[in-house]
Amino acid sequence: MARPAERLPPLNALRAFEAAARLLSFKKAAKELHVTPGAVSHQIKLLEDHLGFALFRRLTRALELTPEAHAMLPKVREGLENLAEAVERVRARQASYALTVMTPPNFAARWLVPRLTRFTELQPKVELHIASRLAMIDERENGHPAALPADTPEEAPIVMVRFGEGRYPGGHVDQLFSAVYVPVCSPKLLTGAHPLRKPADLRFHTLLHDQTVAEEGVRPDWQDWFQAVGVDGVDASRGPSFSNASLALEAAIEGMGVALTMKPLVRSEIQAKRLVVPFDIPAPAAFSYYLVTPEASAQNPAVAAFREWILAETAPERGREAKATPPV
Protein backbone atom coordinates (compact mmCIF):
# COMPACT_ATOMS: atom_id res chain seq x y z
CA MET A 1 0.00 0.00 0.00
CA ALA A 2 1.37 3.40 -0.96
CA ARG A 3 2.22 5.84 1.78
CA PRO A 4 0.26 9.17 1.86
CA ALA A 5 3.27 11.16 0.65
CA GLU A 6 3.63 8.86 -2.37
CA ARG A 7 -0.02 9.40 -3.40
CA LEU A 8 0.28 13.21 -3.33
CA PRO A 9 1.04 15.16 -6.52
CA PRO A 10 3.98 17.63 -6.53
CA LEU A 11 3.47 20.71 -4.36
CA ASN A 12 4.39 23.15 -7.16
CA ALA A 13 1.74 21.58 -9.37
CA LEU A 14 -0.89 22.00 -6.66
CA ARG A 15 0.11 25.65 -6.14
CA ALA A 16 -0.13 26.31 -9.89
CA PHE A 17 -3.54 24.63 -10.05
CA GLU A 18 -4.94 26.62 -7.08
CA ALA A 19 -3.75 29.96 -8.49
CA ALA A 20 -4.92 29.24 -12.05
CA ALA A 21 -8.30 27.91 -10.84
CA ARG A 22 -8.84 30.91 -8.56
CA LEU A 23 -7.82 33.48 -11.19
CA LEU A 24 -9.04 31.49 -14.26
CA SER A 25 -5.88 32.56 -16.06
CA PHE A 26 -2.48 30.95 -16.54
CA LYS A 27 -0.98 34.39 -17.18
CA LYS A 28 -2.31 35.91 -13.93
CA ALA A 29 -1.32 32.78 -11.99
CA ALA A 30 2.21 33.02 -13.42
CA LYS A 31 2.49 36.65 -12.32
CA GLU A 32 1.33 35.78 -8.79
CA LEU A 33 3.75 32.85 -8.55
CA HIS A 34 6.63 34.77 -10.14
CA VAL A 35 7.07 32.24 -12.98
CA THR A 36 6.28 32.19 -16.69
CA PRO A 37 2.87 31.22 -18.12
CA GLY A 38 4.61 28.30 -19.79
CA ALA A 39 5.81 27.04 -16.40
CA VAL A 40 2.26 27.18 -15.02
CA SER A 41 0.95 25.31 -18.07
CA HIS A 42 3.67 22.68 -17.58
CA GLN A 43 2.78 22.19 -13.89
CA ILE A 44 -0.93 21.83 -14.73
CA LYS A 45 -0.07 19.19 -17.35
CA LEU A 46 2.03 17.28 -14.78
CA LEU A 47 -0.87 17.38 -12.32
CA GLU A 48 -3.40 16.22 -14.93
CA ASP A 49 -1.10 13.34 -15.90
CA HIS A 50 -0.69 12.41 -12.19
CA LEU A 51 -4.44 12.47 -11.58
CA GLY A 52 -5.52 10.92 -14.86
CA PHE A 53 -8.13 13.53 -15.75
CA ALA A 54 -8.35 17.06 -17.14
CA LEU A 55 -8.68 20.06 -14.83
CA PHE A 56 -9.32 22.88 -17.32
CA ARG A 57 -11.15 23.38 -20.58
CA ARG A 58 -8.98 25.71 -22.61
CA LEU A 59 -11.33 28.09 -24.42
CA THR A 60 -10.33 30.77 -26.93
CA ARG A 61 -9.96 33.60 -24.42
CA ALA A 62 -10.70 31.94 -21.11
CA LEU A 63 -10.29 28.92 -18.86
CA GLU A 64 -13.11 26.80 -17.52
CA LEU A 65 -12.85 24.34 -14.65
CA THR A 66 -13.91 20.78 -15.20
CA PRO A 67 -16.32 19.19 -12.67
CA GLU A 68 -13.35 17.26 -11.19
CA ALA A 69 -11.42 20.53 -10.69
CA HIS A 70 -14.45 22.14 -9.03
CA ALA A 71 -14.63 19.23 -6.59
CA MET A 72 -10.90 19.27 -5.85
CA LEU A 73 -10.27 23.02 -5.53
CA PRO A 74 -11.68 23.68 -2.00
CA LYS A 75 -9.60 20.90 -0.40
CA VAL A 76 -6.45 21.89 -2.28
CA ARG A 77 -6.90 25.49 -1.13
CA GLU A 78 -7.50 24.35 2.46
CA GLY A 79 -4.42 22.13 2.38
CA LEU A 80 -2.17 24.90 1.07
CA GLU A 81 -3.51 27.34 3.69
CA ASN A 82 -2.85 24.81 6.46
CA LEU A 83 0.66 24.24 5.18
CA ALA A 84 1.33 27.99 5.05
CA GLU A 85 0.00 28.38 8.59
CA ALA A 86 2.23 25.58 9.88
CA VAL A 87 5.29 27.22 8.31
CA GLU A 88 4.41 30.58 9.84
CA ARG A 89 4.05 29.00 13.26
CA VAL A 90 7.51 27.51 13.00
CA ARG A 91 8.96 30.82 11.83
CA ALA A 92 7.26 32.68 14.68
CA ARG A 93 8.61 30.19 17.20
CA GLN A 94 12.12 30.55 15.80
CA ALA A 95 11.79 34.32 16.09
CA SER A 96 10.91 34.03 19.80
CA TYR A 97 13.24 33.34 22.70
CA ALA A 98 12.48 30.73 25.32
CA LEU A 99 13.60 31.39 28.89
CA THR A 100 13.08 29.45 32.10
CA VAL A 101 12.98 31.42 35.34
CA MET A 102 13.48 29.33 38.45
CA THR A 103 12.45 30.95 41.74
CA PRO A 104 11.44 30.08 45.29
CA PRO A 105 7.66 29.44 45.49
CA ASN A 106 6.79 32.47 47.62
CA PHE A 107 8.78 34.87 45.44
CA ALA A 108 7.07 33.51 42.32
CA ALA A 109 3.55 33.76 43.78
CA ARG A 110 3.86 37.04 45.68
CA TRP A 111 6.33 39.13 43.72
CA LEU A 112 7.06 37.80 40.23
CA VAL A 113 3.73 36.60 38.81
CA PRO A 114 1.78 39.82 39.66
CA ARG A 115 4.39 41.79 37.66
CA LEU A 116 4.92 39.48 34.68
CA THR A 117 2.49 41.37 32.45
CA ARG A 118 4.89 44.32 32.51
CA PHE A 119 7.69 42.11 31.21
CA THR A 120 5.61 40.43 28.48
CA GLU A 121 4.43 43.82 27.25
CA LEU A 122 8.04 44.98 26.94
CA GLN A 123 9.35 41.69 25.53
CA PRO A 124 6.54 39.94 23.60
CA LYS A 125 9.01 37.65 21.80
CA VAL A 126 10.34 36.11 25.01
CA GLU A 127 8.51 32.91 25.91
CA LEU A 128 8.76 32.56 29.69
CA HIS A 129 8.54 29.36 31.68
CA ILE A 130 8.21 29.98 35.42
CA ALA A 131 9.34 27.13 37.66
CA SER A 132 8.94 27.53 41.44
CA ARG A 133 11.40 25.34 43.30
CA LEU A 134 12.22 25.00 47.00
CA ALA A 135 15.73 24.14 45.79
CA MET A 136 16.14 27.86 45.01
CA ILE A 137 16.28 28.42 48.78
CA ASP A 138 19.84 27.74 49.91
CA GLU A 139 20.70 25.41 52.75
CA ARG A 140 23.37 26.19 55.25
CA GLU A 141 25.64 23.17 55.14
CA ASN A 142 29.08 23.61 56.66
CA GLY A 143 29.19 27.17 55.40
CA HIS A 144 29.78 26.13 51.78
CA PRO A 145 28.20 28.21 49.00
CA ALA A 146 25.33 26.64 47.10
CA ALA A 147 26.23 25.27 43.68
CA LEU A 148 24.42 26.10 40.46
CA PRO A 149 22.52 23.35 38.62
CA ALA A 150 24.95 21.38 36.46
CA ASP A 151 22.42 19.92 34.01
CA THR A 152 21.09 23.12 32.40
CA PRO A 153 20.75 22.50 28.63
CA GLU A 154 22.35 25.19 26.50
CA GLU A 155 19.36 25.31 24.16
CA ALA A 156 17.03 26.23 27.06
CA PRO A 157 18.73 29.06 29.00
CA ILE A 158 17.65 29.76 32.53
CA VAL A 159 18.02 32.44 35.15
CA MET A 160 17.51 31.80 38.83
CA VAL A 161 16.21 33.84 41.70
CA ARG A 162 17.97 32.42 44.74
CA PHE A 163 17.27 33.06 48.40
CA GLY A 164 20.62 32.81 50.14
CA GLU A 165 23.87 34.49 51.05
CA GLY A 166 24.85 35.42 47.50
CA ARG A 167 27.78 33.09 46.89
CA TYR A 168 27.24 31.27 43.60
CA PRO A 169 30.44 30.26 41.77
CA GLY A 170 30.04 30.09 38.03
CA GLY A 171 27.25 32.65 37.86
CA HIS A 172 26.79 36.40 37.59
CA VAL A 173 25.07 37.53 40.81
CA ASP A 174 22.86 40.60 41.32
CA GLN A 175 21.21 41.35 44.64
CA LEU A 176 17.51 42.08 44.19
CA PHE A 177 16.60 43.00 47.75
CA SER A 178 17.34 41.86 51.28
CA ALA A 179 14.99 40.05 53.62
CA VAL A 180 13.08 42.40 55.91
CA TYR A 181 10.51 40.49 57.99
CA VAL A 182 7.64 42.34 59.64
CA PRO A 183 4.20 41.41 61.02
CA VAL A 184 1.29 41.85 58.60
CA CYS A 185 -2.44 41.51 59.08
CA SER A 186 -5.83 42.59 57.80
CA PRO A 187 -6.69 46.27 58.49
CA LYS A 188 -9.65 45.04 60.57
CA LEU A 189 -7.27 43.89 63.31
CA LEU A 190 -6.22 47.48 63.98
CA THR A 191 -9.60 48.06 65.61
CA GLY A 192 -11.90 46.00 67.83
CA ALA A 193 -11.67 44.74 71.37
CA HIS A 194 -7.86 44.39 71.26
CA PRO A 195 -6.51 46.79 68.63
CA LEU A 196 -2.88 46.34 67.61
CA ARG A 197 -1.17 49.43 68.99
CA LYS A 198 2.04 48.01 70.44
CA PRO A 199 3.92 44.72 69.89
CA ALA A 200 2.74 43.29 73.22
CA ASP A 201 -0.87 43.48 71.93
CA LEU A 202 -0.07 40.44 69.79
CA ARG A 203 -0.74 38.28 72.85
CA PHE A 204 -4.46 38.80 72.12
CA HIS A 205 -4.24 37.74 68.47
CA THR A 206 -3.69 34.54 66.54
CA LEU A 207 -0.14 34.05 65.27
CA LEU A 208 0.11 32.47 61.82
CA HIS A 209 3.10 30.22 61.13
CA ASP A 210 4.88 29.08 57.98
CA GLN A 211 6.26 25.53 58.28
CA THR A 212 9.04 26.18 55.77
CA VAL A 213 10.64 28.65 58.19
CA ALA A 214 11.49 25.80 60.57
CA GLU A 215 12.50 23.51 57.71
CA GLU A 216 14.90 26.04 56.17
CA GLY A 217 16.32 27.41 59.41
CA VAL A 218 17.33 30.66 57.68
CA ARG A 219 14.31 32.92 58.22
CA PRO A 220 13.22 34.48 61.51
CA ASP A 221 10.18 33.01 63.23
CA TRP A 222 7.85 34.63 65.75
CA GLN A 223 10.20 33.87 68.64
CA ASP A 224 13.02 35.69 66.81
CA TRP A 225 10.79 38.68 66.15
CA PHE A 226 9.63 38.98 69.77
CA GLN A 227 13.24 38.85 70.89
CA ALA A 228 14.18 41.54 68.37
CA VAL A 229 11.50 43.93 69.66
CA GLY A 230 12.10 43.09 73.34
CA VAL A 231 8.69 41.56 74.11
CA ASP A 232 8.48 38.81 76.75
CA GLY A 233 5.61 36.70 77.99
CA VAL A 234 4.02 35.90 74.61
CA ASP A 235 3.72 32.27 73.55
CA ALA A 236 5.34 32.47 70.11
CA SER A 237 4.46 28.87 69.23
CA ARG A 238 0.67 29.15 69.44
CA GLY A 239 -1.53 29.49 66.37
CA PRO A 240 -2.10 27.49 63.17
CA SER A 241 0.72 26.41 60.90
CA PHE A 242 0.65 26.42 57.09
CA SER A 243 2.73 24.40 54.65
CA ASN A 244 4.00 27.50 52.84
CA ALA A 245 4.21 31.26 53.22
CA SER A 246 1.56 32.05 50.60
CA LEU A 247 -1.10 30.14 52.54
CA ALA A 248 -0.19 31.95 55.74
CA LEU A 249 -0.47 35.29 53.94
CA GLU A 250 -3.87 34.42 52.50
CA ALA A 251 -5.04 33.62 56.03
CA ALA A 252 -3.74 37.00 57.19
CA ILE A 253 -5.54 38.79 54.36
CA GLU A 254 -8.78 37.09 55.44
CA GLY A 255 -8.34 38.38 58.99
CA MET A 256 -7.51 35.04 60.59
CA GLY A 257 -4.48 36.39 62.39
CA VAL A 258 -1.05 37.99 62.03
CA ALA A 259 1.69 36.59 59.79
CA LEU A 260 5.39 37.29 59.74
CA THR A 261 6.58 37.93 56.21
CA MET A 262 9.13 39.69 54.04
CA LYS A 263 7.88 43.20 53.44
CA PRO A 264 8.96 43.57 49.77
CA LEU A 265 6.96 40.49 48.81
CA VAL A 266 3.68 42.00 50.02
CA ARG A 267 4.27 45.58 48.91
CA SER A 268 1.36 45.42 46.44
CA GLU A 269 -1.03 44.01 49.09
CA ILE A 270 0.00 46.81 51.46
CA GLN A 271 -0.54 49.46 48.78
CA ALA A 272 -3.96 47.95 48.00
CA LYS A 273 -4.77 48.02 51.75
CA ARG A 274 -5.40 44.29 51.83
CA LEU A 275 -2.64 44.06 54.40
CA VAL A 276 -1.16 46.49 56.90
CA VAL A 277 2.08 46.48 58.87
CA PRO A 278 1.00 47.17 62.48
CA PHE A 279 4.60 47.40 63.70
CA ASP A 280 7.23 48.32 61.13
CA ILE A 281 10.01 46.74 63.15
CA PRO A 282 12.04 44.23 61.11
CA ALA A 283 13.50 41.01 62.42
CA PRO A 284 17.02 40.24 61.21
CA ALA A 285 17.48 37.72 58.41
CA ALA A 286 20.74 36.40 57.04
CA PHE A 287 19.53 35.73 53.50
CA SER A 288 18.58 37.97 50.59
CA TYR A 289 17.10 37.47 47.13
CA TYR A 290 19.63 37.29 44.30
CA LEU A 291 19.34 36.99 40.54
CA VAL A 292 21.84 34.38 39.38
CA THR A 293 22.75 34.20 35.71
CA PRO A 294 24.93 31.26 34.63
CA GLU A 295 27.95 32.58 32.75
CA ALA A 296 27.11 30.41 29.73
CA SER A 297 23.72 32.14 29.36
CA ALA A 298 24.69 35.73 30.14
CA GLN A 299 24.78 36.89 26.49
CA ASN A 300 21.48 35.26 25.53
CA PRO A 301 19.01 37.99 24.39
CA ALA A 302 16.16 36.66 26.55
CA VAL A 303 18.40 36.37 29.60
CA ALA A 304 19.76 39.88 29.13
CA ALA A 305 16.24 41.29 28.69
CA PHE A 306 14.93 39.60 31.83
CA ARG A 307 17.92 40.69 33.90
CA GLU A 308 17.51 44.32 32.83
CA TRP A 309 13.78 44.21 33.61
CA ILE A 310 13.95 42.58 37.04
CA LEU A 311 16.77 44.86 38.20
CA ALA A 312 14.67 47.87 37.20
CA GLU A 313 11.61 46.46 38.98
CA THR A 314 13.52 45.81 42.22
CA ALA A 315 15.41 49.11 42.16
CA PRO A 316 12.81 50.87 44.40
CA GLU A 317 13.30 48.20 47.10
CA ARG A 318 17.06 48.62 47.01
CA GLY A 319 16.54 52.38 47.23
CA ARG A 320 14.41 51.99 50.34
CA GLU A 321 17.06 49.77 51.91
CA ALA A 322 19.77 52.34 51.17
CA LYS A 323 17.73 55.10 52.84
CA ALA A 324 17.01 52.92 55.86
CA THR A 325 20.69 52.04 56.35
CA PRO A 326 22.43 54.53 58.67
CA PRO A 327 25.76 55.94 57.44
CA VAL A 328 28.86 54.25 58.83
Number of H helices, E strands in the chain: 12, 11
Q: What is the pLDDT of residue 144?
A: 46
State pLDDT tens for residues 130-168.
Answer: 998 888 888 755 444 445 554 444 456 889 999 988 888
CATH number at residue 262: 3.40.190.10
Residue 282, in any domain of the structure: no
Q: Are residues 28 and 170 in the same domain?
A: no
C-alpha distance from residue 89 to each of 5, 72, 85, 163 (Å): 22, 26, 6, 38
Q: Are residues 42 and 104 in the same domain?
A: no
Quote the percentage of the chain above a pLDDT of 90. Answer: 40
Residue 203, in any domain of the structure: yes
Q: Residue 57's domain spans which residues? A: 4-95
**This prediction's pTM:** 0.63
Residue 281, in any domain of the structure: no
- Cβ proximity of 21 and 73 under 8 Å: yes
Residues 285-295 as b/e (b if ≥16 CB within 10 A, e otherwise) read bebbbbbbbbe
Q: Are residues 116 and 159 in the same domain?
A: yes
Q: Are residues 18 and 60 in the same domain?
A: yes
State pLDDT tens for residues 244-280.
Answer: 888 999 999 999 999 998 888 898 899 999 999 999 8
Count of the separate structural domains present in the chain: 3
